[in-house]
Structure 1
Amino acid sequence: MKIHSYDKIYHINKKTKVKRWFLFIFLAGIIVLFLPWTQNIKVKGNATTLYQDQRPQQLNSPIPGRIIKWNVKNGDYVKKGDTLLKLSEVKEDYLDPLLVQRTEQQVDAKKGVRDYYQAKIGTTNSQLDALNSSRDLKLNQLKIKISQLNNKLAGEEAELAAANNELRLSEDQYARQKKMYDEGLVSLTQFQQRNVSFQNAAAKKTSAENKVAQTRQEIMNVSIEQNATIQDYTEKLSKIEGERFQSMGQIEGSDGEIAKLQNQVANYKARQGLYFILASQDGQIVQINKAGIGEILKDGENIATIVPNKIDYAVEIYIKPVDLPLVKEGQRVMCIFDGFPAIVFSGWPNSSYGTFAGKVIAVENNISPNGLFKALVIEDKNEKQWPPKIKIGTGVQGIAILNDVPIWYELWRNINGFPPDYYEVKPEKSAANEKSK
């Protein structure tokens, strides 16, 4: 009886194909070692946007107030300018419903006071003109009187000079007449007549001197009156001028108070417009923090968040400091978004499925709080479009593409712990020029 199991277990007399398979696998391994391999850096990050106005915006209360009406709820989509809620006033300074009208009445009252002082300035100017005219008239009268007195004084001084001449002549005649009388050549009567003439000439001189002295005194009195008139009118003019400047000061003060009240009116009107909280842009309302009617809001308190509808997405990735020199602006990055299935071959990015191409546009020079450097990646318009359903904050895994090297070189580099090869990014303009050439 032949045992068949023995023949199936032991193959001593049969030919084997192990050497052939070993040689085939060895040659295939050698060939694989020379296949190209794309070096890369694996990073993590999240979806964001490049522009600040496209990020989620907080809606804050510009003034303290009480909520009296809600027009939206969580998840609602709104347009820019839509009214989200209405507030009422809580500060006692603004509770008067006719606050604007009463403040405008104060403005009108201040304007009336200003107009009164302006009219008073007009009256004061008229008084100043009248006083100046009166002063000029009075001074002209006094000047004319002084001129007349000077003319009178000149005539009297001429009369005094004539009297002096007459007195000297009479005195000489009297002396000769007295000598002749003493010698007996003339009678006593003739001598007495000559004496009377001499006395009349002396009296006439004295009268002329008195007239000159009196006229000079009158001129002095008129000069004193002229100075007194100037002093009197100066005091009156200074007093009225002081009242004028006081009125001008009141007008300036009224203008300042009017401007202040007008500023208050403008502020009150603007504050009334702040009772309605409006949507700052098109978007979705989320994270409403107040839950009902009658709740009090503080100045600047966060009410809700609005997420814009239109967003230009970008990805912020975080790079280890040791890999930072390998990432430059224009670097190609393959992005894998959370929630979107992907099959990744890191060494063959063109063979991967579910990855989306992007390029680095900025690398921050300042290290982030997590100890990594942040870089921004945007969509590469020349590649497959990014999925439209991604949201801000979505997790992203990035593969920064470096040099293409053989597999044996990559194995040798990893065994020795060497960093990836430095990758120089070519500018787009030079690349376009080369293509055109």
Structure 2
Amino acid sequence: MTKQISAIRGMNDIFAADADAFDFLISTAEETLKQYGYRSIRLPIVEKTQLFSRSIGEVTDIVEKEMYTFEDRNGDSLTLRPEGTAGCVRAVIQNGLTHNQIQKLYYTGPMFRYERPQKGRYRQFHQFGVEVFGLQGPDIDAELIVLSARLWERLGLENLELQLNSLGNQQARAEYREILVEYLTGHKEKLDEDSLRRLETNPLRVLDSKNPDMAEIVADAPKLIDHLDDESVEHFEKLKAHLDDLGIDYVVNPNLVRGLDYYNRTVFEWVTSELGAQGTVCAGGRYDGLVEQIGGKSTPAVGFAMGIERLAALLMDHDKVPPQAQPDIYMVLVGEGTERPGMVISEMIRDALPDLKIQMNMGGGSFKSQFKKADKSGASYAIVLGEQEVQEHKVALKPLRLDEEQQTVDWDQLCDKLAQLFA
């Protein structure tokens, strides 16, 4: 017997209720983004490795340990994308989309990181990303936050906390880095192994430590927000004023630094306490230097990414996913000669009423078994077509959810009748 082939660890099949949650989340997000004037962009899954090492940072955990990197037949080093922003920046540069233009874009798809699989964190995971190029004011930062808040409302998600911080400009960060390194070095004997490594490579990431033994060291560390440049302070105050005007609650978290090197000024996260250690469901901020860093002209930029698996888990935990494939009408076909006219009638309805979902019984079956399927489908009405109905060019229209009488309807009047029922 041939041995069964299984999926790769941490790369999962997504189907049934999980797929319904994905579809609902993505379609709702796309509708929300379009309302704010954003357009979609489709990006390659594989990019040159140099793109990520240059943008994310050589000494980040992602580049050092987590990327799926390989050589192709030409000997070029390629990488499965670990995140979406770098590829989006490469695309707008390569296609000339930042020349005297403002771009408001969104994308979705799989990302890849080699890390220990756990709930909400997989080796192939999915993100919905939003990026804006050409706007430098706090108003666009506020728009990204408020549209994400609107998305949570439309999805029916509650108890998400918005955390904010500012990282200042590059010079302010460099000066703060020296202050932080001096502080951490003075407490070196209390640092865990991960923090000791980050002390030499990326000391700001020490502030993001999840180790409870590091909590006191992190709490007493000097705060970057106290060492910001004047322009970043003004930017941050205006952002908070916008959020206050819009009624968006937030918490300033001075230890929020984000894991990628390209961020500056505004950073934010939406977090939940309902998913254990993987509590961040949406995160982003400004990355004004990244376009130039990758080879384009200096262009202000800001964006965020949502973790689809984590948000889908929240939706399912709170029963917020409406049925995605539930038909409005189930067509029951009983007897000889009903299949062909049944298919013609179902297509006639789809032509006239494209918003209605119609499921036609396939594979035959008794009248009783077909009605069981109709009821189980969740449809509001069953259209019954038997041999007599075919001869008379009529159908029986039976309510499945309401206490109404069954009706007999002529074929040529059926679409008008359904339009009235589903108005």
Provide the TM-score with structure 1 as the length reference.
0.24
Q: Which has the larger radius of gyration?
A: 1
Provide the TM-score with structure 2 as the length reference.
0.24
More helix by share: 1
